[in-house]
């Protein structure tokens, strides 16, 4: 019985195990073949795990990239580099954004673009590096191929983008002309004619009509007429009562704006856009067509005049005539293409820089009336020296003499302080010819692009002290006399061999125009008018400078005429 029991029990166990195996096999079969829902559940679990791994990887990369901000200045993302940060910077005030990064990195940082771009560059505002770049090792830091390619459609082989012999010949020719007594006399006479014959009447019209005006637009018209008169011997008549349309000037502004966009756009992108004639490249092409037409007309007119060989023509000494008479190393006259480039470059140098600087200057004066008071007191004090004038000798048609303009030291300081904070050319570009190293230790490989931020330099406490963000003309004065700063600390006019040839003329032009306006008018900003810089080769006010003018009371002048 016992044996039978065990045997029966074993049989029962065997049957049970067999049943279990069958069930297990059936369950496996159920999962593997019979139930699509279960397969979906397993796939979902697998996908969820992959998503978690991917998310963890992304979080790790993000944390790692953001932590690099402390050492490299900006987050450096895989493949994208620092491009995402640049895009964010472009959507706000680019110059302030750039200054914040540079100051955080003690004056220099390396920008790394996306892997498919050529936006890698060294960005600096360190005066030691600037002196090394612009003077000490000048020959190792040309404008470079990248800069020339980017600006070539607009500036060609003109003095701004040229290097080596082409630049040297233009520089030498222009330098001889700028420093001649005849040229200085011509600039003073043409400016007097423009200010008193056109600028002041236009401003009077705005007062009579009780209408606000765009002072930046008016100043751009003034400097454009002026540079054309002294550089090309032609009068385009932009600054006239009624303010006629100025297609060339509008096209020129559009061209400079779209040209600077190339520096923050991957080369392959803007070249593709140019090939397809799309977007900003289409705008640039259309604008340059207008610019070229103006230059061709000026050159054509001058060639016809020179062919007459009259005594008056032979005595001409404007820049265009001088260049048209010049010959290259082969004894050939300059091509029309190079003459066109000369014209466009000198328009950029003579028109935009002074007018933009004056626009920011008047905006700053509106915020600092105490500075305006000091300028007015200085102007009246200088005029009062004329044959012992009294308060009764106030004249609305007063014309400042060149020697009087030269004595306006505080005005000179106020304009310099404005240029420190708002330089007409906010950033500039160089390229490394051979491997080198900056004084601050930054290693420079051959072909490296260098961007130096003149805008940032004016805001660095290490250069200007704790009050670097304040508008204080007094920082330029010693015992009431204007004292210039190092060109590698105050780089508004560049430095070294490329120091601006027209620096003295620009100061005279700005002082004469500013003094003539301030002596007669109060310049008040229109309320709520937005004032932000525009991203361009020169730092226009993006929305212009809308102001309301009012005549200065005679009594206000008389109190200083003692």
Strands 449-453 and 121-124: parallel
DSSP-derived secondary structure for 10-75 = HHHHHHHHHHHHHHHHHHHHIIIII-HHHHHHHHHHHHHHHHHHHHHHHHHHHHHHHHTHHHHSS-
Give the residues across from 478 on adjacent strands: 481
- How many CB atoms neighbour CB 82 within 10 A? 26
Strands (E), 242-395: none
Helix (H) or strand (E) holding 327: none
158: tokens are: 């003109």
CA angle 294, 295, 299 (to 5 degrees): 120
Cβ-Cβ contacts under 8 Å for 333 (sequence gap 6 or more): 324, 325, 326, 327
Cβ-Cβ contacts under 8 Å for 431 (sequence gap 6 or more): 141, 142, 143, 144, 145, 146, 147, 447, 448, 449, 450
Place of tokens 């756009």: 265
- How many CB atoms neighbour CB 96 within 10 A? 14
- The dihedral of CA 13, 19, 25, 31: what is its sign? negative
Residue 332 main-chain phi, psi, to 5 deg: -95, 145
| Nearest in space to 421 (alpha carbons), one of 264, 263, 533 | 533
| Nearest in space to 452 (alpha carbons), one of 146, 132, 156 | 132
Place of tokens 């856009």: 273
Whole-number CA gyration radius for the chain: 34
Cβ contact 98:456 at 8 Å: yes
Place of tokens 């070229």: 292
For residue 371, the SS3 value is helix
DSSP-derived secondary structure for 243-279 = ----HHHHHHHHHHHHHHHGGGS-HHHHHHHHHHT-H
| Nearest in space to 420 (alpha carbons), one of 352, 495, 361 | 361
* 500 annotated to bind ligand: yes
483: tokens are: 């004292």
Cβ contact 541:434 at 8 Å: no
| Nearest in space to 144 (alpha carbons), one of 434, 373, 403 | 434
- The dihedral of CA 138, 122, 155, 333: what is its sign? positive
Question: What residues form the annotated binding site?
Answer: 500
Question: What residues form the annotated binding site for heme?
Answer: 500
């Amino acid at each position: 019985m016992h044996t039978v029991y065990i045997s029966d029990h074993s049989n029962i166990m065997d049957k049970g195990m067999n049943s279990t195996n069958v069930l297990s096999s059936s369950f496996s079969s159920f999962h593997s073949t019979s139930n699509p829902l279960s397969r979906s559940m397993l796939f979902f679990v697998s996908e969820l795990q992959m998503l978690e791994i991917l998310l963890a990887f992304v979080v790790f990369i993000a944390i790692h990239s953001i932590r690099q901000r402390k050492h490299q200045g900006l987050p450096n993302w895989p493949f994208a580099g620092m491009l995402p940060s640049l895009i964010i910077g472009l959507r706000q005030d680019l110059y302030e954004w750039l200054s914040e990064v540079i100051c955080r990195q003690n004056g220099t940082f390396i920008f790394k673009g996306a892997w498919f771009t050529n936006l890698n560059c060294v960005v600096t505002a360190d005066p030691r590096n600037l002196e090394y770049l612009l003077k000490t090792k000048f020959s190792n830091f040309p404008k470079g191929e990248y800069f020339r390619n980017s600006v070539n459609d607009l500036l060609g082989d003109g003095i701004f983008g040229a290097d080596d012999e082409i630049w040297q010949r233009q520089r030498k020719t222009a330098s001889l002309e700028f420093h001649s007594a005849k040229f200085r006399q011509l600039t003073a006479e043409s400016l007097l004619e423009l200010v008193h014959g056109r600028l002041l009447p236009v401003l009077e019209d705005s007062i009579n009509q009780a209408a606000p005006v765009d002072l930046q637009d008016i100043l751009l018209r003034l400097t454009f007429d002026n540079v054309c008169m002294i550089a090309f011997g032609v009068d385009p008549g932009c600054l006239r009562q009624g303010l006629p349309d100025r297609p060339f000037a509008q096209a020129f502004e559009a061209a400079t704006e779209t040209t600077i966009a190339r520096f923050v756009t991957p080369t392959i992108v803007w070249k593709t856009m140019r090939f397809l004639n799309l977007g900003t490249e289409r705008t640039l092409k259309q604008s340059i067509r207008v610019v070229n037409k103006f230059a061709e007309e000026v050159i054509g007119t001058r060639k016809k005049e020179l062919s007459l060989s009259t005594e008056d023509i032979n005595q001409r000494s404007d820049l265009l005539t001088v260049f048209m008479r010049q010959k290259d190393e082969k004894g050939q006259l300059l091509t029309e293409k190079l003459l066109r480039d000369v014209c466009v470059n000198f328009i950029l140098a003579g028109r935009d820089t002074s007018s933009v600087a004056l626009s920011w200057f008047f905006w700053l004066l509106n915020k600092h009336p105490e500075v305006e008071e000091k300028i007015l007191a200085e102007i009246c004090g200088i005029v009062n020296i004329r044959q012992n004038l009294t308060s009764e000798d106030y004249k609305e048609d007063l014309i400042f003499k060149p020697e009087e303009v030269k004595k306006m030291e505080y005005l000179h300081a106020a304009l310099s302080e404005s240029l420190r904070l708002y330089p007409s050319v906010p950033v500039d570009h160089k390229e490394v010819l051979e491997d080198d190293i900056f004084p601050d230790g930054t290693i420079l490989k051959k072909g490296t692009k260098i961007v130096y931020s003149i805008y940032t330099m004016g805001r660095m406490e290490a250069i200007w002290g704790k009050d670097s963000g304040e508008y204080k003309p007094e920082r330029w004065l010693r015992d009431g006399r204007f004292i210039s700063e190092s060109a590698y600390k105050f780089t508004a006019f560049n430095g070294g061999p490329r120091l601006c040839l027209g620096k003295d003329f620009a100061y005279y032009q700005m002082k004469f125009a500013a003094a003539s306006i301030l002596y007669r008018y109060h310049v008040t900003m229109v309320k709520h008018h937005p004032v932000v810089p525009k991203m361009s080769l020169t730092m226009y006010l993006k929305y212009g400078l809308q102001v309301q003018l009012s005549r200065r009371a005679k009594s206000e002048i008389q109190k200083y005429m003692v």
